[in-house]
């Protein structure tokens, strides 16, 4: 057993090697120590959500990692939480077949029997019968551009209790702001917020997440937004956690509609206003 204080009791050394957090000879360098710290930080956000579901007697706990990539997050969650229990399943959804093949092989090697990997597009995952009709948690880590919205749509459609989202590379709303900028300049002084190109990009990213939060609130979710890690590690650093509370929906819906109108984003209406 590798004697490294940062590694938690019972954690799979083989998995940490496969994820390149540990070197092949079981060592932890400064770069991988920082990576491990980030892994634990993210796990610390999700662990209470999983425990809350367990305490509420959810013996069919289902977590879906949407746009899983190499299933980095799914493997860590399984190793630190699901492995110690006799129930619960982790699904990794990814459209690149080669990544699915590698994840299946690694799960088999580690005896992570309740991990399942599905080679599905976003649209296919929304209708797939290989995934339970009702899921508990949907995660999307560094989901680029509209992939975060796809994960939200999936979570809403499947009645997820929690959504844990780390958006990345958001360009679609910024493109709409850019296209309509000249028309909006004479209509509202708020256009000054994003008149310059660098501000268009930054504000586009900011307003995208604001619209996402309002959409979730308009569907009855309580939303918390926080830093994932320190800014020195990544600029794509916003963590959105949504918990379904069946809260009043009218006010956030009205604010969502008003923001879309205020910034001339009506073409985005179907993405943020339509229900699954």
pLDDT digits (tens, 9 = 90+) for 40-79: 888 899 999 999 999 887 668 999 999 898 898 899 999 9
pLDDT band at 5 (very low <50, low <70, confident <90, very high): low
pLDDT for 39 = 78
**Average pLDDT of the residues in 25-49:** 83
Number of neighbouring beta carbons within 10 Å of residue 33 = 12
Asked whether the beta carbons of 155 and 148 are under 8 A apart, the reply is no
- Could you state, in order of their start, the residue ranges of all structural domains in the chain? 41-168, 170-219+231-276
CATH class of 41-168: alpha beta
Nearest to 170 by CA among 148, 140, 151: 148
E strands, 24-108, are 62-66, 89-94
Q: Are strands 162-168 and 137-144 parallel, antiparallel or unpaired?
A: parallel
Whether this model's pTM surpasses 0.85 = yes
Burial readout 95-114 (b: 16 or more C-beta within 10 A, e: otherwise) = beeebbeebbebbeebebeb
pLDDT in tens, 192-211: 898 998 999 889 889 999 99
Q: Which long-range contacts (CB under 8 A, 24 or more apart) does 28-35 make?
A: 28/4, 33/6, 34/233
């Amino acid at each position: 057993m590798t004697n490294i204080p940062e590694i938690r009791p019972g954690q799979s050394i083989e998995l940490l090697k496969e994820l390149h957090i540990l070197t092949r000879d079981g060592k932890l360098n400064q770069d991988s120590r920082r990576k491990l710290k980030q892994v634990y930080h993210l796990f610390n956000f999700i662990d209470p959500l999983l425990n809350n579901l367990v305490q509420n007697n959810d013996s069919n706990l289902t977590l879906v990692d949407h746009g899983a990539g190499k299933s980095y997050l799914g493997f860590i969650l399984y190793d630190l939480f699901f492995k110690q229990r006799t129930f619960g399943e982790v699904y990794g959804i990814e459209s690149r077949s080669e990544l699915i093949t590698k994840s299946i092989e690694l799960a088999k090697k580690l005896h992570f029997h309740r991990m399942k990997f599905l080679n599905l597009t976003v649209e296919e995952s929304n209708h797939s019968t290989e995934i339970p009709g009702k899921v508990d948690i949907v995660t999307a880590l560094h989901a680029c551009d509209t992939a975060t919205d796809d994960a939200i749509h999936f979570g809403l459609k499947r009645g997820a209790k929690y959504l844990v989202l780390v958006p990345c590379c958001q360009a679609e709303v910024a493109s709409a702001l850019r296209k309509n900028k000249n028309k909006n300049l004479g209509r509202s002084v708020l256009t000054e917020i994003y008149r310059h190109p660098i501000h268009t990009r930054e504000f586009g990213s900011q307003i995208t997440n604001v619209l996402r939060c309002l959409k979730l609130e308009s569907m009855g979710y309580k939303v918390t937004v926080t830093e994932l890690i320190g800014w020195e590690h990544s600029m794509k650093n916003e963590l959105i956690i949504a918990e379904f509370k069946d809260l009043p929906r009218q006010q956030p819906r009205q604010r969502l509609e008003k923001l879309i109108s205020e910034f001339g984003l009506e073409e985005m209406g179907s993405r943020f206003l339509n229900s699954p």
